[in-house]
Chains A and B, each alone.
Chain A
Amino acid sequence: MSFDVTTLRKDFPILDTQMRGRPLCYLDTAASAQKPRAVIDAMSEFYSRHYANIHRGVYQLSADATRRYDEVRTRVAGFIGAGDPREIVFVRNATEAINLVARSWGEVQIGKGDEIVVTAMEHHANIVPWQMLATRKEARIRVAEIHDDGELDVTQLESLLGPRTRLIAFSHVSNVLGTVNPVKEITAMARARGITTLVDGAQGVPHGPVDVASLGCDFYVFSGHKLFGPTGAGVLYGRFALLDAMPPFLGGGDMIERVSFKGTTYARAPQRFEAGTPDIASVIGLGAAIDYLDAIGMKNIAAYEQTLLAYATESLSAIPGLRIVGTAKEKAAVVSFVLEGVHPHDIGTVLDGEGIAIRAGHHCAQPLMERLGLPATARASFAFYNTRAEIDQLVAALAKTRELFS
């Protein structure tokens, strides 16, 4: 299909609103994406006409809600190239997915002296759960370094891999630098050594097609809210053999086979990991988001975003005193920058006054900030609903920022 951003923007009610008296210019999709009407309506429709608890009721309404919920599992599997819907576990977000793996897989697979490799560009969500696990198990965290341009130092990463390496946990796309990591290359290295891999796809899934089978990872996690779906629904993909061998994470209803005071047996994956009533409506909303994206085509989205990225890179680079942080050859549409003499927070406030929403701060990646020698950056992140005109607005507002602080 042809890509028409003007038409697509009409699908997002919030893009027609104002902020501080100006049309909203939303450049913070990497923090959370805005929602198309299809998602909002699907959730409203579900609550209005189809809602009941799932996996419980003998009545038709519950059976219908259960069917709708489980159908999304199949759609998610298809969307990311998982061969089997049982490889999809619904969680709240990518953070919960990583914690699930750390608490469950990690609890049995990581022992004293074992090593977990993470990269210097990880979000706190892909650092802290591993640190907590390492502390519990007296295991060790090893850090794969990055080059100054924001690309992963794959040679150094490989040099870290040894007989005690049990896991490599790394992001598909950096939320700060935009760097697209060479996932296949890393998973191949890992497979050759019998090392498990977890890919944090929070920033990967929204920007282009993902195929976990060809990526070759063992686990892949993402948040629905960054994929234009509602908050409260995220995804853990795990190879079925791995998932089905993992102990439960949370105990309770829905995750059991049989409960008795003599002992309880657990359901198989993915049910084993979905204790209690999940965020059913959000899963329904996530399904609607995937349908919406499929109709546009992730390839079309990726191609359009690359044109935005190129234009933003060129336009921002032309601003005196502005430096783009993260200039990897392969990038997603995320642009971090610093402006000489102006703290990122002040940039954020000035842009806010112009109706432009960006992120300013450490982006939940403090070790990366330390590596870059920066307290914070400003970050504009783009989605397929953004336009070149919005980039022009950003550039004009940054010129005003410079003027104010000159």
Chain B
Amino acid sequence: MDDLRELYQATILEHNKQPRNFSKLAGATHEADGHNPLCGDALTLYARVDAAGRVTDVSFQGTGCAISKASASLMTEHVKGKTIAEVEADFERFHALLTAPPGVSPSVDGLGKLAVFSGVREYPIRVKCATLAWHALKAALEAKGETANTE
């Protein structure tokens, strides 16, 4: 159970119950679907980006497990106000946190509250859950207009 508390930290459980920015975004300039074929989790990511390339607002809708829902919720809080380049760099840092090999203490610099997902690396199968929203956001910002896939 202690290991599980490490994975399901209070912040994650709380965001799972009360996801932030959990709605369709009016005036979204970017939008993409994310889908995890392994478990059927699906979400839609909305973003509004201004002329300077800054994400001024972001939201999501969909169904998923606690990890994917909380990750989407915390991500929306984290990226609001950042430039597209900053968001991409954050995704790389976040991904590195989730996939750090055993014995290595990954850096949480610049990740803020997202550090609560560090326990996911003990459950490699759940990395896709934690990154689903990020993949969708990346696809939305790249305006690929297709479903982001965790595979």
A20 touches B3 (CB 8 A): yes
Within 8 Å of chain A (Cβ to Cβ): is B32?
no
Q: Which residues of A contact B34 (CB under 8 A)?
A: none
Q: Are B67 and A346 in contact (CB under 8 A)?
A: yes
- Judge whether B64 is part of the interface by a CB distance below 8 angstroms: yes
Annotate B61-103 by CB proximity to A: 1 below 8 A, 0 otherwise: 0011111010000000000000000000000000000000000
Q: Given contacts A375-B63, A405-B66, are A345 and B4 in contact (CB under 8 A)?
A: no
Known: A350-B4, A362-B39, A404-B8. A345 touches B13 (CB 8 A): no
| Chain A residue at minimal CB-CB distance from B125 | A349
The reply to whether B40 and A343 contact each other, CB–CB distance below 8 Å, is no
The distance from the CB of B145 to the nearest CB of chain A, in whole angstroms, is: 23
Q: Which residue of A lies closest to B4 (CB)?
A: A353
Select which of B13, B67, B123 is within 8 A of A405 by beta carbon: B13
**Which residues in A have their C-beta under 8 angstroms from that of B144?**
none
How many residue-residue contacts, CB under 8 A, span A and B? 55
Find the B residue at minimum CB distance from A360: B39
Contact of B38 among A341, A342, A361, A400 (CB under 8 A): A361
**CA–CA, A375 to B7, complex, Å?**
23
B123 to chain A: closest residue by CB:
A349
Q: Is the CB of B40 within 8 A of A361?
A: yes
Once the chains are docked, how many angstroms separate the CA of A361 from the CA of B65?
Answer: 10
Contact A345 B39 (CB under 8 A): yes
Return A361 CB to nearest CB of chain B, in Å: 5
Which A residues from 284 to 341 make CB contacts under 8 A with B? 341
Considering only residues 31-52 of chain B, those with a C-beta below 8 Å from chain A are: 38-42
* B129: chain A residues within 8 A (beta carbon): 345
Interface residues of A, dominant DSSP: helix
When the two chains form their complex, are residues B67 and A376 in contact, meaning their CB atoms are under 8 A apart? Answer: no
Partner of A349 from B4, B16, B40, B42 at Cβ < 8 Å:
B4
Would you call B113 an interface residue if the criterion is a C-beta within 8 Å of the partner chain's C-beta atoms? no
Contacts of B63 in A (CB 8 A): 375
- For A20, A341, A362, A375, which residue has the most chain B Cβ atoms within 10 angstroms? A375
Q: How far is the CB of B76 from chain A (nearest CB, A)?
A: 19
B41 to A375, Cβ gap below 8 A? yes
Give A88 Cβ to nearest chain B Cβ, in Å.
34
Q: How far is the CA of A346 from the CA of B42 in the complex (A)?
A: 16
For chain A, give the interface size range. Answer: 20 to 34
Known: A361-B40, A376-B40, A405-B13. A343 touches B1 (CB 8 A): no
Question: A353 near B65 (CB under 8 angstroms)?
Answer: no
A369 at the B interface (CB under 8 A): yes
Determine the residue in chain B with the shortest Cβ distance to A401. B4
A196 within 8 A of B: no
Chain A 352-373, CB-CB to B under 8 Å as 1, else 0, gives 1100000011100010010000
A346-B40 in contact given A353-B1, A404-B4 (Cβ < 8 Å): no
The complex places the Cα of A161 from the Cα of B5 at a distance, in Å, of: 54
Closest residue of chain B to A376, judged by CB?
B40
By the criterion CB–CB under 8 Å, are B39 and A404 in contact?
Answer: no
> Whole-angstrom distance from the CB of A244 to the nearest CB of chain B?
39
Q: Which of A341, A350, A361, A405 contacts B39 (CB 8 A)?
A: A361
Shortest A19–chain B CB gap in Å is 12
A343-B66, A400-B1 known; A369-B40 Cβ under 8 A? yes
Given A361-B38, A362-B40, A376-B40: A349 and B7 interface contact (C-beta under 8 Å): yes
A405 to B8, CA, bound (A): 9
A343 and B126 CA atoms in complex are apart in Å by 13
Contact sample, A vs B, 6 pairs, CB 8 Å cutoff? A353-B1, A353-B3, A360-B39, A361-B39, A405-B8, A405-B66
Q: What are the 10 A-B residue pairs with the smallest beta carbon separation, nearest first?
A: A345-B65, A343-B65, A362-B40, A361-B39, A375-B63, A353-B4, A346-B66, A346-B65, A375-B40, A345-B39
Interface positions of A (Cβ within 8 A of B): 20, 341-346, 349-350, 352-353, 360-362, 366, 369, 375-376, 400, 404-405
